[in-house]
Amino acid sequence: MKKIVEKILNSKKILIISHENPDGDAVGSTLGLYFGLKKLNKRVVPVLPNKVPQIYSFLEGAELIKTDFNPKDIDVAIILDCSDIGRVESLKKKLMKIPIKINIDHHPSNFSFGELNFIDPTSSSTSELVLKLLNELNVEVDKSIANPLYVGIMTDTGSFRFPNTTLKTFEAATYLVRHGAEASYLAKMVYNMKPLKALKILGRALEKLKKKDHLIYSVLLLSDFEEFDASEEDAEGAVEFLNKSREADVAVLLKERRKNYFKVSMRSKDSVDVKKIAMKFGGGGHINAAGFEIEGEPEEIIESIIKEIKVERSNRDN
**Identity of the residue, 109 or 159, whose beta carbon is nearer to its own copies in the bound complex:** 159
244 contributes a contact to its own copies by CB under 8 A: yes
Cα three-residue angle 134-161-255, rounded to 5 degrees: 105
Q: 66 Cβ partners below 8 Å, 6+ apart? A: 45, 46, 47, 48
Question: In whole angstroms, how far apart are CA 202 and each of 20, 197, 264?
Answer: 24, 8, 15
Of positions 142, 171, 293, 295, contacts its own copies by CB under 8 A: 171
Of positions 245, 260, 284, 286, contacts its own copies by CB under 8 A: 245
Q: Residue 256: phi, psi to the nearest 5?
A: -75, 120
317 CB burial (10 A radius; 0-12, 13-18, 19+): exposed
Cα three-residue angle 218-221-224, rounded to 5 degrees: 100
Nearest alpha-carbon partner for 277 in 202, 210, 209, 217: 217
Of positions 20, 71, 166, 289, contacts its own copies by CB under 8 A: 166
Q: Angle 143-156/167-178 helices, nearest 10 degrees?
A: 150
Of positions 64, 137, 206, 287, contacts its own copies by CB under 8 A: 206
18 contributes a contact to its own copies by CB under 8 A: no
Of positions 26, 91, 119, 216, contacts its own copies by CB under 8 A: 216
**Identity of the residue, 146 or 301, whose beta carbon is nearer to its own copies in the bound complex:** 146
**Identity of the residue, 191 or 261, whose beta carbon is nearer to its own copies in the bound complex:** 191
**Identity of the residue, 140 or 247, whose beta carbon is nearer to its own copies in the bound complex:** 247
User: What is the binding site for its own copies (CB under 8 A)?
Assistant: 154, 159-167, 169-171, 173-174, 177-178, 183-184, 187-188, 191-196, 199-200, 202-209, 211, 216, 241-247, 269
